[in-house]
Amino acid sequence: MDAGAVENPLPAPLNDEEGEVPDPVAACDSLAGLTNLRDLSFSAAANLLPGDALALTALTGLTRLVLAHLEHGVGDLAACALACSLKQLRHLDLQECDLGDMVCLAAIAHLTQLTELRLGCTSGFTRQRLMLLTGLTDLQRLGFCSDEEIRVEVMDSFWAVLQQQQQQQQQ
């Protein structure tokens, strides 16, 4: 593994016969000193304490951050703080995190260098919130699902706006 990458820094949970989920742990504080880290991925097996992900705001050199399937370990506030602090991110994966009303999208919208954003399923993702992301002119992949039906025409309009902004930047 490359010195600039860490894959799942938490120990694998022990599976007991009853299928109990392990107790949440605070793992992010111990990573905060790794300021040269570029790539950090937590697996679905990780069970972080709520708010623990806030410590990752110190990792300002990250270009790729995967916090997928951490549910309550990464909430909307933590996602917002991460987006405000990690200005070099090009890949952000928040699938199956507890993003609630998706207030974090306003902060994520300022990560204009993002090429990939994965949000997973949430009831807070609406057409209006999708349009907050039209400033992400380098975006190549966007993954999400929503309780609100976001039609093909809306997605086509979103990608058309992004393409138009890319062309304006090139002029």
pLDDT, tens digit (0-9, with 9 covering 90-100), for 109-123: 999 999 999 987 766
Average pLDDT over residues 88-92: 98
Q: How many CB atoms lie within 10 A of CB 142?
A: 17
User: What pLDDT does 85 receive?
Assistant: 98
DSSP secondary structure string for all residues of 127-171: HHHHHHGGG-TT--EEEEEESS---HHHHHHHHHHHHHHHHHHH-
Q: In whole angstroms, what is the distance from residue 167 CA to residue 147 CA? A: 32
Average pLDDT over residues 145-155: 73
Q: Which CATH superfamily is domain 5-170 in?
A: Ribonuclease Inhibitor (3.80.10.10)
What is the pTM assigned to this prediction?
0.82
In the chain, what are the domain boundaries?
Answer: 5-170
Share of the chain above pLDDT 90, in %: 37
pLDDT, tens digit (0-9, with 9 covering 90-100), for 13-27: 444 445 566 677 778
Residues 6+ apart with CB under 8 A from 59: 31, 32, 34, 35, 37, 40, 86
